[in-house]
Chains A and B, each alone.
Chain A
């Protein structure tokens, strides 16, 4: 009951937190798209309204103004998307660059943008794109097939350092790009890359001016960034801010977005603000109009009538308390099951670390990542909360209480939990220790900075950890953590059937076919009880009520094309 009350008070100032049922009700055309459902939900408030209002928006809404967005480390490395590995950097670049496709967050459909149409060969190995004509980059370079080829060649340059986009282009599955004529380009793969069209909508695969890339060389993405999008790059001062300005000549915009033409805002500034509370305060003081926050910040927003909290289901994996099954204690299935049985996820989500946001986790991928939000085929493998059952299970397995802690053959059920200090500070680690203690188990929390945590995880130097990833290509994330032999698959899971299903999903020519292998694979992973599937998390933003027509893109990041500031 308390949760409902709290959520409602937030929901009144949000575009809407969606229940699992509501999420499931929003079907998507491309099920592996992470935030398609997510943003279908969040954008529900905007989406329905904007569909009607956007046609008239360019003329009707207030023009001008400077929008400041406060993020932590908005450019993790570089704005050169051929080399970047930073998600937020891609989201900034997407305002400057345009893509070949546009994924509509409201329904997950792939729509034309710089590519007006395309054909895909039956085996999924060839994509032919027919490009839009008359598009110019901000530096006056014309957009054409040569520009697309120059971009893809740059990304896949075998001598250059690979970034996110290297994987988005298919990595070793990519064969090459060929100019068919001035406005037709063909991309060929060695093996199917079913998510290619989705990836082409990502900021990482935005098309840069080949002239600007050649002129700037190694400085590209640092001193300049030239695309054909609604905003022009002004400057990036590392550790301080990125400034973009309105492109007054912009006539593009994906048709499916609802309007074209220049964006209302004069300037868009991303400020680098490491502390979540300072980011929140900057919005309350109107120094910024949008900021990312964390659940413990939420109570401070309640009662403020000039801001609203926006919860966007995160595109990526479920936040998982993973086990290292190479640990003798955790190689015991009874222990792994018992840990699951003591964690009351519904109660957990009421604690300050969650503040009522998120949904109890079921599988390694959240409901917003699977077709139609439907996890019913694997729900049977979810282990429900059952404290008494956990105690009985441990007793039966020979783990008996000695004082407060259970032990067997002199080994106590105390688990090294290697995590980031920021997760401890956020309040999402210690509650697990509290749950475990109820059944005679305990955590030994070992916290450090992100490097300590990555090192512990990569080297398998942990018994439990809190893990998740951001992204929207389901098969990649399942492969990353659960296919044996992968660098970050360190849970000790080695199941040939799971590996085989992942390989088949990777090789499937379409996303629909991928899911035929992926869903049973997820079921098998759940049966192995590789961890506690903690919660399906939300990205939280706090926005000034002055900021209107705020849209969220397909991976849950705000997109400011069309946004305006009320005077």
Chain B
């Protein structure tokens, strides 16, 4: 428990850093949300009119004041309102979260199934054509950008073959291609880690002992080796979860899916500062939280590890 609390306390400066970094990035890249709002309306707009809006949004305040205001409100759970839609940012996050979590979890499930299967196959059949093929697939996975893979999948499976919807869609048919595109890279990393970890474990004395006791190879692998090989894999899974959340930003746009990623991309395009800041902060919190859970989970997998 003390370990968990320590980690939670340590998360505070991380959150602070993330919020500060996001705030500075947003304000130092070019772009005036108010000019973006008013240009192209087919009519003249006065500087006073634009200034009034800037005042209302607090954009005329000095940057440190703007940041402190954001921080003060964020601590109270108020991430502000969207500049474009005036909707509370926290409501926007909650509205978009289920779709992104659905995609992220589906991608993770896919990555785990494919990654662990390929990794095990490569380790057990080390040096054979299976090993080479599995690692080639893993190499493909880490080499292909997810947006490119996404476009390729749409082109082949949606446009050419017509098996899946082109413009998103609900239900499992709309989830398969984006989950594959997003999870493929993670599966490759997991496969390589499972292979390396399993090969290490298979050389340990207790595996030799298990085999000497006459256990079947299946029981040796699944009961003894895989469980002990899982700890480094679990670490990677935690890290990959953050990667998948970040990847959703791109994949949701490619597959025209609703979610936190689309919300963030739209916010960044329109310099909707509160949404971008709040969204990034939220993703950072989820990332830290997931990694904390992974750390705590070590003890479950290997009782010798005590987090206290």
Question: Residues on A close to B: CB < 8 A?
Answer: 70, 73, 76-78, 83, 85, 87, 161-162, 164, 166-168, 171-172, 218-219, 222, 237-240, 271-275, 278-279, 281-282, 284-285, 287-288, 315-316, 448-452, 454-458, 469-473, 476-477, 479-480, 483, 486-488
8 A Cβ contacts from B214-267 to A: 252-254, 256-259, 262-263, 266
Do B30 and A452 touch (CB < 8 A)? yes
Are A85 and B41 touching (Cβ within 8 A)?
A: yes
User: Cβ of B84 < 8 Å from any Cβ of A?
Assistant: yes
B17 at the interface (CB under 8 A from A): no
Chain B minimum-CB-distance residue to A455: B30
Interface contact B35-A454, CB-CB below 8 Å: yes
Q: A121 to nearest B CB, angstroms?
A: 23
Cβ of A480 and Cβ of B44 under 8 Å apart?
Answer: yes
* B257 / chain A contacts, CB cutoff of 8 Å: 240
Could you say which residues of chain A place their CB within 8 Å of the CB of B162?
A: 285
Binds A, one of B50-58, B116-124, B181-189, B194-202: B50-58
Of B129-137, B138-146, B163-171, B280-288, the one with at least 4 CB within 8 A of chain A:
B163-171
Min distance, Cβ B219 to any Cβ of chain A, angstroms = 49
Known: A239-B96, A480-B45, A483-B44. A278 touches B154 (CB 8 A): yes
- A-B contact sample (13 more), CB < 8 A, given A77-B85, A78-B84, A472-B42: A76-B270, A87-B41, A161-B56, A172-B46, A238-B87, A239-B266, A240-B256, A285-B166, A315-B42, A469-B40, A476-B44, A480-B43, A487-B35
Residues 30 to 87 of chain B near chain A (Cβ within 8 Å): 30-32, 35-47, 49-50, 52-53, 56, 84-87
B263 touches A239 (CB 8 A): yes
Select from chain B the residue with minimum beta-carbon distance to A486: B44
Say whether B29 faces chain A, with CB atoms less than 8 Å apart. yes
B42 touches A239 (CB 8 A): no
Secondary structure of the B side of the interface?
loop
How far, in Å, is B260 (CB) from chain A's closest CB?
A: 10
**Complexed CA–CA distance, A275 and B84 (Å):** 21
What chain A residues lie within 8 Å of B53 (beta carbons)?
161-162
Assuming the contacts A161-B56, A239-B258, A473-B42, asked whether A288 and B35 have C-beta atoms less than 8 A apart, the reply is no
Residues of A within 8 A of B259 (CB): 239
Docked-complex contact B31 and A452, CB < 8 angstroms: yes
Q: Which residues of B contact A166 (CB under 8 A)?
A: 49
Given known contacts A161-B56, A476-B44, A480-B44, A271 and B256 CB-to-CB distance under 8 angstroms = yes
Q: How far, in Å, is B217 (CB) from chain A's closest CB?
A: 49
Q: Name the residue on B nearest A470 (C-beta).
A: B42
Contact B29 A78 (CB under 8 A): no
Question: Known: A239-B266, A449-B269, A450-B36. Contact between A273 and B41, CB under 8 A?
Answer: no
- Verify if B92 is at the interface (C-beta below 8 Å from A): yes
A473 and B43 within 8 A (CB): yes
| B271 / chain A contacts, CB cutoff of 8 Å | 451
Q: Is the CB of A451 within 8 A of B167?
A: no
Complex Cα gap A164–B41 (Å):
7
**Contact at A281–B43, with CB atoms within 8 Å?**
no
Known contacts: A222-B87, A238-B263, A287-B167. The answer to whether A85 contacts B38 by CB under 8 A is yes
User: Which B residues fall within an 8 A CB radius of A?
Assistant: 29-32, 35-47, 49-50, 52-53, 56, 84-87, 92, 95-96, 154, 158-159, 162, 165-168, 252-254, 256-259, 262-263, 266, 269-271
Query: Which chain B residues lie closer than 8 Å to A454 at the CB level?
Result: 31-32, 35-36, 39
Assembled-state Cα–Cα distance A166/B42 (Å): 13
Residue in chain B with minimal CB distance to A478: B44
The 9 closest A-B pairs by CB, nearest first: A471-B42, A451-B31, A476-B43, A455-B30, A240-B258, A239-B262, A479-B44, A77-B84, A480-B44
Contacts A238-B263, A285-B159 given; does A278 touch B166 at CB 8 Å: yes
Distance in angstroms from A450 CB to nearest chain B CB is 7
Partner of A455, one of B31, B85, B166: B31
Q: Are A78 and B43 in contact (CB under 8 A)?
A: no
In the assembled complex, the Cα of A162 lies from the Cα of B32 at a distance in Å of 17
Q: Is the Cβ of B85 less than 8 Å from the Cβ of A238?
A: yes
Contacts of B41 in A (CB 8 A): 85, 87, 164, 167, 469, 471
Which residues on A sit within 8 Å (CB–CB) of B159?
A: 281, 284-285
What separation, in Å, do the CA atoms of A497 and B262 have in the docked complex?
48
Residues of B within 8 Å of A473, CB to CB, are 42-43
B148 to chain A, nearest CB (A): 13
| Chain A residues whose CB sits within 8 angstroms of the CB of B56 once the complex forms | 161
Cα distance A161–B42 in the bound complex, in angstroms? 18
Within 8 Å CB of A279, what residues of B?
A: 167
Is B167 a contact of A218 with CB atoms below 8 Å? no
A487→B45 contact, CB < 8 A = yes
| Chain A residue at smallest Cβ distance from B29 | A451
With A and B bound together, what is the CA distance between A131 and B217 in angstroms? 86
Contacts of B262 in A (CB 8 A): 239-240
Question: How far is it, in angstroms, between the C-alpha of A77 and the C-alpha of B167 when the chains are bound?
Answer: 21
Q: Which residues of B contact A479 (CB under 8 A)?
A: 43-44
Given A281-B166, A455-B35, decide whether A162 and B52 contact each other with a Cβ distance below 8 A.
yes
Interchain CB contact under 8 A, A70 and B167: yes
List, in ascending order, chain B residues with CB within 8 A of A73's CB.
266
Which residues of the other chain, A, contact B95 by a CB distance below 8 angstroms?
238
Looking at the assembled complex, report how far the CB atom of B243 sits from the nearest CB atom of chain A, in whole angstroms.
22
| Cα(A375)–Cα(B153), bound, Å | 50
| Bound CA–CA A454/B32 (angstroms) | 8
B47 close to A487 (CB less than 8 A): yes
Interchain CA distance A77-B87 in the complex, whole Å = 10
Complexed CA–CA distance, A457 and B84 (Å): 21
